Amino acid sequence: MTVPFDIKGCVALVTGASRGIGRACALQLAQAGAIVYACARSEDALRELAEASEGVRVCVLDLRDEVMVEELASEIMEAHGRLDLLVNNAGVLGPRASLDQTSAEALREVLEINVVGAFNVLSASYPALRAASLPRVINLSSSVGRKGRAQWGAYSISKFGLEGLSEIAADELGEDAVVVTLNPGGTATDMRAEAYPDEDPETLPSAEDVAQTIVLLARQLRADLSGKRFSSRALFDLAKESSDDVVELPTD
Ligand SMILES: NC(=O)c1ccc[n+]([C@@H]2O[C@H](COP(=O)([O-])OP(=O)(O)OC[C@H]3O[C@@H](n4cnc5c(N)ncnc54)[C@H](OP(=O)(O)O)[C@@H]3O)[C@@H](O)[C@H]2O)c1
C-alpha cells in the first residue's frame, strides 16, 4: 500500500453510536464520505444522529440479541456486498468494585454486552468482512484490559476477553484483514463520568479527539499490523495531521 485508504465510499459499521466515542466516530467517518451503519439501543439518540448526518444509517438494537445483529449484518451484505470497517465500540462499565464485592450476576451482565455483544457483531460480520479487499476491525479496549487493576473487576475481565477475541479474529481472518484493539484512554464521556464522578471532564480529551484516532487507524492500518494493540494517546498528534502519506503507527 503506497497511499492511505480512502474513507470515501468505505462501508462501515459502528456499534454504540448513540453517544460518546461511537457517535463522534460515526459522524467523522460519514463526514469523510463513508457509508456508516450506526447502532445502539437508544432510539431517540439514533434518530437525532441520523438527522445530524446524511451518511449515517441507524439501527436500533441490543447487541445481546444475536438475531437482530445477524439481520443487520445480512442487510449490509445485501446492500453493499462487503463491510470494509467494523468499529466494535459499544460497552458498559458495570460496578467499580473489588472481586469479592462483585456478584456473578453483575459480571455476567458486563460480559454479555462487552464480550458476547462484540462477539455477536464480529462473528455475524465475517462473511461481509471476508468479501472486502482489506477489511479493518477496530475493537475498543481499555488499559485495564491489558493490565488488571483493583476495583475494575467485571469491566477489566470483559476487556481482557475483548483483547482475546481480537487476537483470535486476527488469526482467523488472516493476512487479508487487519484486526486491532484501541485503548482510547480517559475520555470525556458518560462512561468516564460514571467511573470518575468527581473528575472535571474539561481536563480530558474529547470523544471527537478519540474518534480522530479511529479514523486515522481506518485510513492507515496495513495487514502487517493485524493483531496489534494501539492507544489513542500515542496517536493524537498523527490524527490531527491527517497526512495523505502512509505513516508509521506506534503500537503498544
Ligand atoms: N470513556 C473512556 O474514558 C473510555 C476509556 C477506555 C475505554 N473506553 C471504551 O470505549 C468505548 C466507548 O466508550 P464511551 O465512553 O463512549 O461510552 P458511553 O458514552 O457510555 O457509550 C457507550 C455506547 O455503547 C452503547 N451500548 C451499551 N450497551 C449496549 C447494548 N447492549 N447494545 C447496543 N449498544 C450498547 C450505548 O448505547 P445505548 O445505551 O443507547 O445502547 C452507547 O452508545 C467502550 O467500549 C469503552 O469501554 C472508554
Output the domain CATH number for residue 46: 3.40.50.720
d(CA 229, CA 61): 28
Closest CA to 240 of 222, 216, 205, 220: 216
In a domain? residue 206:
yes
Tell me: pLDDT of 78 over 60: yes
Q: What's residue 243's pLDDT?
A: 81
More reliable by pLDDT, 5 or 88:
88
d(CA 21, CA 240): 16
d(CA 146, CA 143): 5
In a domain? residue 247:
no
Q: 57-79 burial by CB neighbour count: b if 16+ within 10 A, else e?
A: bbbebebeeeebbeebbeebbee
Q: What's residue 244's pLDDT?
A: 85
**Total domains in the fold of the chain:** 1
Closest CA to 99 of 158, 162, 152: 152
In a domain? residue 84:
yes
Q: How confident is the model at residue 150 (pLDDT cuts 50, 70, 90)?
A: very high
Tell me: pLDDT of 1 over 60: no
CB-ligand 1 contact for 181 (6 Å cutoff): no
Tell me: pLDDT of 41 over 80: yes
Tell me: pLDDT of 211 over 70: yes
56-60 and 178-183 beta bridge pairing: unpaired
Q: State the average pLDDT over residues 109-118.
A: 98
**Nearest residue by C-alpha to atom 25 in ligand 1:** 16
d(CA 48, CA 93): 24
Q: How confident is the model at residue 2 (pLDDT cuts 50, 70, 90)?
A: low
Q: What's residue 3's pLDDT?
A: 73
In a domain? residue 5:
no
Q: What's residue 186's pLDDT?
A: 98
In a domain? residue 246:
no
CB-ligand 1 contact for 112 (6 Å cutoff): no
Query: For residue 52, what is its C-alpha cell?
Result: 445530524
> How confident is the prediction for the chain on average, in pLDDT?
97
Q: State the average pLDDT over residues 218-233.
A: 96
Expressed as residue numbers, the domain containing 33 is 11-241
Ligand 1 atom at shortest distance from the alpha carbon of 155: 47
pLDDT, one tens digit per residue, over 167-202 is: 999 999 999 899 999 999 999 999 999 999 999 999
CB-ligand 1 contact for 192 (6 Å cutoff): yes
Q: How confident is the model at residue 165 (pLDDT cuts 50, 70, 90)?
A: very high
Is residue 155 annotated as a catalytic residue, yes or no?
yes
In a domain? residue 250:
no
In a domain? residue 2:
no
Contact yes or no for 76/126 (Cβ under 8 A): no
First to last CA, the chain: 22
In a domain? residue 251:
no
